[in-house]
Structure 1
């Protein structure tokens, strides 16, 4: 992958910039609270799809412009199609779900930076990242049941996985907003930063991750994300296999050698 700026054509609401192995995805509908309409969902799907299989990719940052990270689905679209709401929603969900799964399973670290309120489908978009940074002003609100709908975009799975089933039900039942500090306390976000420091903090993190052992990160994601679906014996066998693969890699040789030489390691592209 060469250093370049890439923007998604036909949809200025989604920006994609790829540089030095880092992809930055930016939600760019600040006038609509970065709500997901049909066009934006398709553009996000195309953007994430373009990252899949990119051997030069080393880290991803998901961010948003304006005062909100993502308000969820675009209620204006719902109102416009109220007489055929089911068909409208059925038609839009596949692209959103495909994008969420692709983003969550990329074999590189994914960081989301939540600059403001998050609700509805925005919860899934925010929490499908490996590490979630939040500004002090961020608030999280379920929102679905308040308009007679149920969660999508993986939001119920991801929130239950981070905060527990009881807490997730409380959030989706009551629709009471949670502050960034409460989200940190409940394990929903990884770190809370002052608003003015969020962008610099997120970029510093993805830059550091992009210099890391990408093959190691990819294996760690598979191990951790699938741990609850394996028996202990199955997991131990996978750990054994992955440790064997990793120990034969150039990154392992570089990591051990640099540690012995008391210098910073220079990792390659891992095993992908």
Structure 2
């Protein structure tokens, strides 16, 4: 689903607020942990385009509720597991839309800040990795879950993360499904700073205030030089490899069983309520 296909109802999944010349985008699907679905990603792309068209001096991306984003909606994948064509089609749509959103963020002309209010899991890491600065609540963490689920990594776990923390460390995190706390992310350079949850917005505002005193032309040229057409093309190629790998693994019987095992405790919990 393209950004152009996003109707007004879907736009409610990502809110756009203006504060001191900066565009604040808030993922708003808290009942599902802001899990990524085509409608949310279409809304995100539309909001990014809106902020760009309006000449935002900076872009801030955050989430509503306890999680920044739980990544792909495993329940939606599992519901399609017995229909291979539907599952592969859905997977192509969701991962393709995520890749497009990541590239939209990387191509944004002004600084991008991720304000991580809570956990970042699975493909939603790409929204964090596309940011120039990351302010992270002490309640947040980063975790892949791919090897646990039998999915192939998406969202830049192989396309972007190794360049940030080193190849061996990036592989270890994914092989062992390691949880990186906010403190771990700060130590590894994935977070610019960490703070108590109640201070997250204030800390971001300090950074925006500093940016507002800088020359906007310099900021724009600096970001454009880093995320040049050549660099973006290389990232797009790597993200396409992630999509290809995801499609190769998603319909396997063992992946279906891993999804069911993962979801069983959640279903049991719902039954007890």
Match of 1:112 in 2: 114
The number of aligned residues is: 221
Match of 2:249 in 1: none
Alpha-carbon shift at residue 119 of structure 1 (Å): 0.7
Alpha-carbon shift at residue 144 of structure 1 (Å): 1.7
Q: What is the rounded CA distance, in whole Å, between the counterparts of 1:194 and 1:121 in structure 2? A: 25
Query: SS at 2:155's partner residue?
Result: coil
Alpha-carbon shift at residue 51 of structure 1 (Å): 2.7
* Residue number among 167, 170, 195 corresponding to 1:168 in the alignment: 170
CA contact (8 A) 1:52 1:102 kept: no
Match of 1:33 in 2: 33
Q: What is the rounded CA distance, in whole Å, between the counterparts of 1:208 and 1:225 in structure 2? A: 22
1:164-195: CA deviation from partner (whole Å, max 9, x where unpaired): 11111111111121111111111111111122
Match of 2:192 in 1: 190
Q: What is the rounded CA distance, in whole Å, between the counterparts of 1:52 and 1:97 in structure 2? A: 18
Q: What is the rounded CA distance, in whole Å, between the counterparts of 1:203 and 1:63 in structure 2? A: 13
Alpha-carbon shift at residue 128 of structure 1 (Å): 0.5
Q: What is the rounded CA distance, in whole Å, between the counterparts of 2:212 and 2:62 in structure 1? A: 17
- Structure 1 window deviating more from structure 2 (171-180 vs 12-21): it is 12-21
Structure (1/2) with the larger helix percentage = 2
CA contact (8 A) 1:25 1:61 kept: yes
Match of 1:49 in 2: 49
Q: TM-score, normalised by structure 1?
A: 0.75
Shift of the 165–64 alpha-carbon distance from structure 1 to 2, 3 Å rule, reads same
Q: Which runs of 5+ in 1 are unaligned?
A: 1-7, 230-272
* Residue number among 80, 84, 87 corresponding to 1:85 in the alignment: 87
Match of 1:24 in 2: 24
Alpha-carbon shift at residue 222 of structure 1 (Å): 3.0
Q: TM-score, normalised by structure 2?
A: 0.75
Match of 2:181 in 1: 179
Q: What is the rounded CA distance, in whole Å, between the counterparts of 2:131 and 2:46 in structure 1? A: 18
CA contact (8 A) 2:51 2:59 kept: no
Alpha-carbon shift at residue 53 of structure 1 (Å): 4.2
CA contact (8 A) 1:22 1:210 kept: no
Q: What is the rounded CA distance, in whole Å, between the counterparts of 1:158 and 1:93 in structure 2? A: 15
CA contact (8 A) 2:134 2:192 kept: yes
CA contact (8 A) 1:22 1:207 kept: no
Q: Pick 1 or 2: higher relative contact order, CA cutoff 8 A, min separation 6.
A: 2
Q: What is the rounded CA distance, in whole Å, between the counterparts of 2:141 and 2:61 in structure 1? A: 17
Alpha-carbon shift at residue 157 of structure 1 (Å): 2.2
1:75-133: CA deviation from partner (whole Å, max 9, x where unpaired): 12111211232111112222221111111121101100111111111110112111011
CA contact (8 A) 1:61 1:206 kept: no
- Structure 1 window deviating more from structure 2 (151-160 vs 134-143): it is 151-160
Following superposition of structure 1 onto structure 2, how do residues 180-219 of structure 1 map, counting pairs within 5 Å?
180-219=182-221
Larger Rg: 1
Match of 2:60 in 1: 61
Match of 2:129 in 1: 127
Match of 2:72 in 1: 73
